[in-house]
Structure 1
Amino acid sequence: MIKQVKRKRELGKSEQFNLSQLEKAMLTHYEASKHPIYEEAVEKLRLKIGGGLCDSIAKELFEGHTPKFAGLDGIRCNFTFIDLFAGIGGFRMALQNLGGQCLFSSEYDKYAQQTYFANYGEVPFGDITREETKAFIPPKFDLLCGGFPCQPFSIAGVSKKNSLGRKHGFADEKQGNLFFHVAEIINRHKPKAFYLENVKNLVSHDKGNTFRVIRNTLLDLGYSFDFRILNGKHFVPQNRERTLMVGFNKGIFGKDISFDFNQVDIPCVQHQISSILMPDVDRKYTLSDQLWAFLQQHASKHKAKGNGFGFGLVDLNGVTRTISARYYKDGSEILIPQEGKNPRRLTPSECAALQGFPIFPINTGHGERSFVIPVSDHQAYKQFGNSVVTTLIEAVGREVVKVMKG
């Protein structure tokens, strides 16, 4: 009994009273946006646990925590958007920089939810396939954005599933059909536009059939459809090709509406990985002798077979390979050479900067505007590997907003 009382003292009120993830999402979204769709649910929560306690929990969630990227209020916003498959908020970061107000966010992974809350002050709603989650999407918003899960379509993802005898693409029951939930939400809410991101291989997967289904589905909903494969290396020192898809509601903009990717400002800059490296790095990021020997032997074995597998020792004056969600395993795809030592992994902060997130003092001089990483290195590597190049998303988004604003 004494242990239980002590445990309750250690827990916050939201945990003591078993506030669900859905209730935390609803409460934090209401505190952030005051949108009417969350108001009724908050009132029900107040009746359930008591108004004073509800206010106390809300205070606890935000006490001592001022999100650095909480976003705009309704007075200052230029447009509204919802953030699906939000991850750690790469789309949100980009669109808020353009004057957008986020009205709803959804992310399944609990650790990504922690990072999202730490930076934006909202706990994302969870499983977007559930109707109880979709019920909280505001009826009206301007732009739907998101990077729906790419593992069923990526080259690495397809190879892995084939080796395991598992289905991929739209035949992947767990992830591949999530696109159709995006289509359902577009059909239900009829936003002015959509803005989606996926891996380069999406276009060629299953001999182009997967992409054809996506395109035709969105066209059938009454939207235009334009896409371009763009490389993040023009914005950050990372070779990262991604398929970006944009469409506009023909009922609003007319049947001839289209999006011209040629209008996107692509910088003519040769980025260098050295620009985002920290001068003093904890020695725990340096590879052990055992791991470094293993990676070299592994690379030599595959080279002898004529394969291209192996570690990626970076040219400090060039760009890196694509960082992946598996970077936490050994960091082999991006290794930083060190004089007189074994090479090292990137730190989580450097990974954040590699994806265009503001990190003090790497790429921003403002400590109060530095992205917060509240999770373990293991989770941080997965999160940044799964994220988008925010600066690329912003560059395309700027032209999307111009069309939306007419």
Structure 2
Amino acid sequence: MYTLAGLFGGVGGIELGFEQAGFNVIWANEIDQKASITYQLNHRHELRVDDIHNVEPNELPDIDVLTGGFPCQAFSVAGYRKGFDDDRGNLFFEILRLVIAKKPRVVFLENVKNLVGHDNGNTFRVIKEALESHGYHIKDKVLNGCEYGNVPQNRERIYVVAFADRADFEKFEFPGPIPLTKRLDDVIDFENKVDDRFYYKPEKCIFYDELEKNITSKDTIYQWRRKYVRENKSGVCPTLTANMGTGGHNVPLIYTDYGIRKLTPKECFNIQGYPENFKLPDDVAMSHLYKQAGNSVVVPVVQRIAKNIKMALDANENYKKRDKSQLSLPI
């Protein structure tokens, strides 16, 4: 079984997708203490809870695959567009540092779609050239969760798969689109009562009249856009965000038998394609759980890519791991 270590693990969505595809996850790293609680509630392998700058190569076991959903804020349309000028952007080079030291057979990266066009494409070019200069062959593709993961969410992300062996690279293809069969009511409970704190009430919401006037259908998701209600007419959830639990215009809203409410954290994880048995801790604030869901990945998309990676590795019977000298060119 191919072994895997995960960087910037969050709550373990990438690791979960690879496990579902048959990989053996043996180690991961995550800096956020609250995300780590959720991670350890659902995974049994070793999790190093620390800043990646403090992770030494000898702490990582020998692995076949190294993954990293490195922080996307520096490249997000919603962020400051600073890219590598932002400290978070420089975290890619921490991944590269460990790639050079551990020389995994495969490197898997996930980020926001805007990474591709940031700084007229220069940011993404630097990332690809850095990996290529160390002997890796790269394939990348932007995939939408509702088209490639059968989840009712409009979530476009860039996926990068880098192979140390050219034969692996040549045998790998990204998965194709699949029909969207999951509906919003498959992942959201429109019928049953949930905790009162999720409902909007006229005495506690100054814009409740606008919500009541415009939010009238169970067939869609709405958003409060500071001054007006926006109906998402595509039949899927808009992209979940890390700050949707802090209020404002990022909160997905629904109409139910018991009133107008925001999504629960569990429903947000459902929309990301997490399995029903994925556990959320009781002792972590709701805002952190929303952040964890918004920062995470569409698990079924990762699982489908991972399955194709495994097929490519399985098909290459002549693979021989290169020695360190072949990956130790200067950055």
Which category describes the TM-score, using the shorter chain as reference length? 0.7 to 0.9
Identity over the aligned pairs, expressed in percent? 35
- What residue in structure 1 maps to residue 261 of structure 2? 344
Query: Residue 308 of structure 1: CA displacement?
Result: 10
Distance, in Å, in 1 between the alignment partners of 2:133 and 2:241 is 34
Matched, 1:137 2:60: yes
CA distance 1:285–1:313, shift in 2 (3 Å): farther
Task: For 1:243-392, list aligned pairs within 5 A.
Answer: 243-250=158-165, 253-254=166-167, 257=170, 259-261=172-174, 264-278=175-189, 279-289=192-202, 290-291=204-205, 293=207, 296=210, 311-314=229-232, 318-330=235-247, 332-333=249-250, 334-338=252-256, 341=259, 343-359=260-276, 370-374=277-281, 375-392=284-301
Distance, in Å, in 2 between the alignment partners of 1:228 and 1:188 is 26
Q: Is the 8 A contact 2:26 2:46 kept in 1?
A: no
- What residue in structure 2 maps to residue 128 of structure 1? 52
Which protein has the bigger helix share?
Answer: 1
- What residue in structure 2 maps to residue 86 of structure 1? 9
TM-score where L is the length of structure 2: 0.82
Q: Could you list the per-position Cα deviations for residues 344-370 of structure 1 after superposition, in whole angstroms to 9, with x for gaps in the alignment?
A: 1111111111111112xxxxxxxxxx1
In structure 1, what residue type is equivalent to 2:14?
A: F
Equivalent pairs counted in the alignment come to 294
CA distance 1:351–1:396, shift in 2 (3 Å): same
Q: Could you list the per-position Cα deviations for residues 189-241 of structure 1 after superposition, in whole angstroms to 9, with x for gaps in the alignment?
A: 11111111000000000110000101111111101111110000132110000
Q: Report the RMSD for the aligned CA atoms in angstroms.
A: 2.5
Q: Is the 8 A contact 1:104 1:137 kept in 2?
A: yes
CA distance 1:372–1:354, shift in 2 (3 Å): same
Distance, in Å, in 2 between the alignment partners of 1:338 and 1:327 is 19
- What residue in structure 2 maps to residue 119 of structure 1? 42
Task: For 1:7-86, list aligned pairs within 5 A.
Answer: 78-86=1-9
Q: Is the 8 A contact 1:247 1:259 kept in 2?
A: no
Query: Which of structures 1 and 2 has the bigger CA Rg?
Result: 1
In structure 2, what residue type is equivalent to 1:182?
A: I
CA distance 1:197–1:312, shift in 2 (3 Å): farther
Which of 83, 93, 113 is residue 169 of structure 1 equivalent to? 83
Q: Could you list the per-position Cα deviations for residues 376-396 of structure 1 after superposition, in whole angstroms to 9, with x for gaps in the alignment?
A: 211110100000000111011
Alignment gaps of 5+ in structure 2? 215-224, 316-331
CA distance 1:318–1:216, shift in 2 (3 Å): same
Q: Is the 8 A contact 1:271 1:318 kept in 2?
A: no
What is the DSSP-based 3-state SS (H/G/I as helix, E as strand, rest coil) of the residue aligned with 2:111? strand
- What residue in structure 2 maps to residue 152 of structure 1? 74
Q: Is the 8 A contact 2:4 2:23 kept in 1?
A: yes
Alignment gaps of 5+ in structure 1? 1-77, 160-167, 301-306, 360-369
- What residue in structure 2 maps to residue 237 of structure 1? 152
